[in-house]
């Protein structure tokens, strides 16, 4: 993490870096919990399952970050593959698993999350491109 290294070298002890990281982790964990509870309440339609579409979107954002621009970056920030820098094996949610899978070289998000027949990020990116 370049920001963390810069902050560490400037103040010597890295406490600011740890504080920022801790705050971001807290926000990410809260957001993942809220999204999971909210999406669980949505009705499930065959091949258009809300949970699967959310996981596919997270996977796609991590798999093709340049394709989705700012939208993909926001998803990557709020749904990171790892929350605890010291323990990369700690899994907090199914969204982290989707992010980790999307980071893989041979990831095929559409096949992995095939209960979502649409790529929500493509639709969102198309709408943004039409507006701007």
Rounded Cα gap, residues 38 and 79, in angstroms: 15
Instruction: Give residue-wise pLDDT tens across range 48-100.
Output: 788 899 999 999 999 999 999 889 998 998 888 876 655 666 656 888 899 99
Q: DSSP labels for 50-99?
A: HHHHHHHHHHHHHH-HHHHHHHHHHHHHHS-S-S-TT-TT----HHHHHH
The domain spans of the chain are 2-131
Write down the pLDDT at residue 42.
63
Write down the pLDDT at residue 126.
86
Helix axes 50-63, 65-78, angle to 10 degrees: 120
Tell me the mean pLDDT in the region 92-111.
91
Write down the pLDDT at residue 38.
67
Cβ(126)–Cβ(67) below 8 Å: no
Provide the 3-class DSSP secondary structure of residue 117: coil
Cβ(108)–Cβ(54) below 8 Å: no
Write down the pLDDT at residue 88.
61
Write down the pLDDT at residue 11.
46
Instruction: Give residue-wise pLDDT tens across range 13-47.
Output: 556 655 555 566 666 666 666 666 666 666 666 66
Write down the pLDDT at residue 3.
40
The answer to pTM > 0.85 is no
Q: Which residue has the higher pLDDT, 120 or 14?
A: 120
Instruction: Give residue-wise pLDDT tens across range 2-18.
Output: 444 333 444 445 566 55
Write down the pLDDT at residue 78.
85
């Amino acid at each position: 993490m370049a920001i963390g290294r810069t902050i560490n070298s400037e103040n010597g002890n890295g406490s600011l870096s740890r504080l920022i990281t801790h705050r971001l982790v807290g926000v990410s964990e809260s957001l993942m919990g809220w999204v999971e509870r909210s999406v669980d309440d949505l009705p499930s339609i065959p091949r258009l399952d809300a949970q699967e579409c959310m996981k596919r979107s997270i996977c796609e954002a991590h798999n093709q970050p340049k394709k989705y621009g700012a939208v993909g970056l926001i998803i990557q920030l709020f749904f990171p593959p790892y929350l605890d820098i010291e323990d990369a094996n700690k899994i907090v949610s199914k969204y982290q698993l989707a992010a980790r899978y999307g980071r893989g070289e041979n990831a095929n998000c559409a096949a992995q999350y095939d209960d979502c027949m649409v790529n929500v990020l493509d639709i969102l990116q198309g709408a943004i491109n039409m507006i701007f």
